[in-house]
Amino acid sequence: DFKIVVEHQTIESLEFRNSRRYLEILFDKYYGDFLRRNCDAIVGVTDEITRYEISRSGIDDKPHITIGNGCDVASLPVRNPPEDINGRLEILILAKFQKWHALDRVLEGLKNKPLSLDTVVHLVGSGKEMDRILEKAETCGLNKVFVSHGYLKGKELDDLFDRCHVAVGALGVHRKGLLQSTPLKNREYCSRGMPFISSSPDPDFPEDSPWILSLQADDSPLDFEQIVQFARAVIDDRDHPQKMRSFAIKNLDWSVKMYRLKSFLLAL
């Protein structure tokens, strides 16, 4: 005897519609409900996704569990943070840039209310959305603010983590029609001890986390004065990288995630 368990990383109908993948919409409509109804259990990465998939199955008491994304904490070194901002704010963004990363919120924030101190936004990754924002930055005279590094790993990436004061997570998950998310970049930021900005609740982190600046889930420009205050408050706690690392080991590591999944499967 065997069991069929399906895992869902997104609300498929929303993502397919947003990316105009109409053939996938049809497949999900005609075959998705059959799979959801006839599988033995459902795993979702957020409560929002799990609830949606259970509703699509039509069986309210179908076995299910929510387990957010994990990471290999031990593979990521803890950073050595800068001691202060000292007239220059450095921001890190890791991504394969899409519209839901909302780089435009960063650009518009700098356009609307430039900081009195120098600001550098380090972009690590690639994507058409990054290229689009870099073009807009050039027309706005902000091309020197954004530095594109491409794909980095090893010491080059470690050095950038040591240099930056704060990182940015996905700021436009609402553009997918989602309320919650569990981005991999948030897990890397936390494992390395880097405070970060987010606009969507992540079920693996407490709402009052001192290492996360939670913003509104809308398209409003970033308030960089607010970001400076947040970064300084975190930096004042010199132990924050070790505290974040400890949290990651206890809550985000794959060993923790797989223990919960194994227990669920054995019970099933």
Q: pLDDT tens digits for 211-226? A: 999 999 999 999 999 9
Return the pLDDT at 114. 64
- Point out which residues pair with 212 in neighbouring strands: 196
Is the distance from CB of 47 to CB of 180 less than 8 angstroms? yes
Mean pLDDT of the chain: 93
Q: C-alpha distances in angstroms, 74 versus 172, 188, 194?
A: 29, 11, 15
Q: Which 3 state secondary structure label does DSSP give 166?
A: strand
Q: Which amino acid is at 89?
A: L
CA distance 223 to 78: 28
CA–CA gap between residue 176 and residue 89 (Å, rounded): 30
- Residue 11 pLDDT > 80: yes
pLDDT digit string, tens, across residues 182-239: 999 999 999 999 999 999 999 999 989 999 999 999 999 999 999 999 999 999 999 9
Q: In what order do the strands lie in the sheet with 196-198?
A: 146-150, 118-126, 88-96, 166-168, 196-198, 212-214
Q: What is the mean pLDDT of residues 78-99?
A: 91
pLDDT of residue 235: 92
Tokens representing 116? Answer: 């009195």
What average pLDDT does range 239-260 have in this prediction?
A: 97
Give percent of the chain with pLDDT exceeding 70.
Answer: 99
Give the rounded percent of residues in the chain with a pLDDT score beyond 90: 77
Residue 56: closest CA among 14, 95, 105: 14
pLDDT (tens digit, 9 = 90+) per residue, 23-40? 888 888 889 999 999 999
pLDDT at 60 over 80: yes
Q: What is the mean pLDDT of residues 33-51?
A: 95
pLDDT of 90-129, one tens digit each? Answer: 999 999 998 889 999 999 999 876 667 789 999 999 988 9
Say which residue, 138 or 15, is predicted with more confidence: 138
Residue that is written with structure tokens 């399906």 in the block: 6
Q: Extract long-range pairs of 209-214: CB within 8 Å, 24+ residues apart.
A: 210/234, 210/237, 210/240, 211/240, 211/243, 211/244, 213/166
Which of 17, 89, 107, 71 lies closest to 202, judged by CA?
Answer: 71
Give the residue-averaged pLDDT of 38-60.
Answer: 96
* Residue 170 pLDDT level (bands cut at 50, 70, 90): confident
- pLDDT classification of 133: cutoffs 50, 70, 90: very high
Contact 85, 117 (CB under 8 A): yes
User: Quick one: CA torsion of 94, 96, 97, 100, rounded to 10 degrees?
Assistant: -90
pTM of structure: 0.91
